[in-house]
Structure 1
C-alpha cells in the first residue's frame, strides 16, 4: 500500500520511461505527487504517463536528453509551467555500461556514457537546485548511482567512474544546500531486473541466473519497485533528517 506522503508535491523523474525510473514515477504518483516523466524515448515516456493516469494519478511527459544543458533547463522550466513549482526530483537517467577493458575503451561511447550518466546528473542538479533555491522552502533530490559506485568491475571503466561520480556529486550538493533545507541523497541499487541490466548481461554473454548467486545474499534479482521504495522514502518528509547519504537496495552486496 502507498500512503499519500507526497500529497500536493510536484516531482520530476528522469529516465522514467522504463525500469527503475518508470517504477519510481508510478510510486511517487501513487503517493500523491504530480509527476513529470522525463525521458528521451517519447513512446516509453508517454506509456509511463498513461499508466499513472490509468491509476488515477497526475503526470505529464517531458522529452529530454540529459546530456544537453539547454534541454535540461527546458525540462525544469516545463515542469514549473505545467505544475507551478518543483518539490522533489529523482535523477535516474542512464545508459548501458561499456564492455571493453580500459586499455581498449571506445572513446565515443565513453563520452556518451559520461554525458548521460554523470554530466546528466550534474546538469539535472544544476537546474533543479536553481529552481528550488528560487522558490525557497526547501526540497529533496535523489540521485541514482549503483553498487558500481562503491566497487570496481572489469570491462566497465566508464560506467564505474560515472557511478562513483554520482555519489560524489550527491555529497557536494548536500553540503552546499543543507542550510536551504534542500536535501540531496543517493540510492545505489544492486542487480535489479530491468531492461538495462538484461541488455548489459546479453552483451557480456550472461544471464540473471549467472549473477544472482554472487550479486545477492537473497539469491535473486531485485525489482524496480524495491528501488523505487527507497527513493520514495528519501524524497519524503519521513527522511527529513537525512541528507548526503546513500541507501543500498542491493541485497547485501555492498556490505559483504
Structure 2
C-alpha cells in the first residue's frame, strides 16, 4: 500500500463497475478506507470481499444517487460507521443513446440528466454538510467527461449533463474554499467501461473513430482515471480547487 490517501475515509458512488470499481481498488491501495455506493448489491458485496481479502478497510451501501434519501443515507452510513467523511468521488453516471438531438426522446434526456446532474447535486449537498463538521481538510472529485469541455456529435443530453457537472464543481469549489473543502473534477476521455462497451457495441467503428481523434491513439483504462482522482483527493495538491482535469490522451488539446 502507498500513503497517498492514508487515513482518509472516502465515499465512492457508481462503485460497482468501471471507473468506480477501479477507484475502489486504487484508493484502497493508496491507504484509504472506502465506502462503496451503487445500485447493484451483488457486485458491491463481491468487491468489498475482494478488498478486505487484500487487507483494506471497506464497506458498502446500496444507493441510487437520483434519490435524495439514498444519497443522504450513504453519507450517514459513512459517518456512522467510520466517524467522519474526508473525501468523496461522485462517479455515478449514465451514457444514454447516441442519437441526433431532434430524434432524442424525452425519456433519454430525463434519465441522463437525472443521474449525471441531479445525482451529483444530491451527493454534493449531503457530502458537504458532513464535511463542514470535519475539522480536517476535505476534498471532493466529480466525474465529468471530455463531453463536459467540448461537443461530441449525437449525444446532446450527455454533453449538457457533463457541462453541468463542471458548473456544479466550480460553484461548490468557490463557495466552500474558505471552509476547507476542495472540489475538483476529472474529465475522462474514452475509457473502457460498461457504458463505452455498450456504445461501441451499438455503433460499429465508433471506438476506432474516437481513437483516431485522440493524440495517444487509444482508449484509457479505468485505473488511469482512478489514479488521477486519487491525486486530486489527496493532500498532495492543497492549493488546487475548482479545476477540471482532462484525462483524455490529449483529446481536448487539439
Task: Note if 1:68 corresponds to 2:37.
Answer: no
Matched, 1:250 2:231: no
Q: Deviations over 1:139-198 (max 9, x none)?
A: 000000000001112221110000000000000000000001100000000011112111
Q: Which residue of 2 aligns with 1:172?
A: 171
Q: TM-score under structure 2 normalisation?
A: 0.96
Name the CA shift for 1:207/1:153 in 2 (closer, same or farther; >3 Å).
closer
Aligned to 1:195: 194
Structure 1 residue 160 corresponds to structure 2 residue 159: yes
> Gaps (5+ residues) in structure 1?
none
- The answer to whether the 8 A contact 1:99-1:203 is kept is no
Whole-angstrom CA distance in 2 between matches of 1:51 and 1:162:
33
What's the counterpart of residue 118 of structure 1?
117
Partner of 1:237: 235
TM-score, normalization: structure 1? 0.95
Q: Give SS of 1:111's match.
A: helix
Q: Which moved more, 1:246-255 or 1:91-100?
A: 91-100
Q: Which residue of 2 aligns with 1:55?
A: 54
Kept in 1: contact 2:176–2:182 (CA 8 A): yes
1:18–1:48 Cα contact (<8 Å) kept: no
User: Please, what is the CA RMSD of the aligned residues?
Assistant: 1.3
Q: Distance in 2 between matches of 1:53 and 1:234?
A: 24
Matches within 5 A, 1:62-141: 62-141=61-140
How many residues are paired up? 254
Structure 2 gaps, min length 5 = none
Q: Secondary structure, in 3 states, of the residue corresponding to 2:11?
A: strand
1:51 CA drift (Å): 2.2
Contact 1:98 1:157 (8 Å CA) reproduced = no
